[in-house]
Amino acid sequence: MRLRVTVRGRVQGVGFRYYVRRAAEALELGGWVRNNPDGTVEVDSTGPVADLNELLSRVSKGPLGARVDNVSVEWIPSVSSELPTGFIIR
């Protein structure tokens, strides 16, 4: 599966992208995370549903110093040829 998440709140300038990357790498998920100009953080990741749910749980809490006000979630079916390797900060 593929998971797309947009996180709103105090999520920029608090190490949020690095937190997400560490969590995704620990779960062996592929994808990316980036800051958006509107102050949100966007996450796009692929992998097994159970691992993506764990990533979503961690993203919904955020690192120390962050404040997550809202999480928008989109689940997208994916095929194995779409799966990226590694997880990067954009």
Residues that are catalytic: 17, 35
User: What is the secondary structure of 23-53 as a DSSP string?
Assistant: HHHHTT-EEEEEE-TTS-EEEEEES-HHHHH
CA 40 from centre of chain: 12
Closest CA to 5 of 54, 62, 43, 34: 43
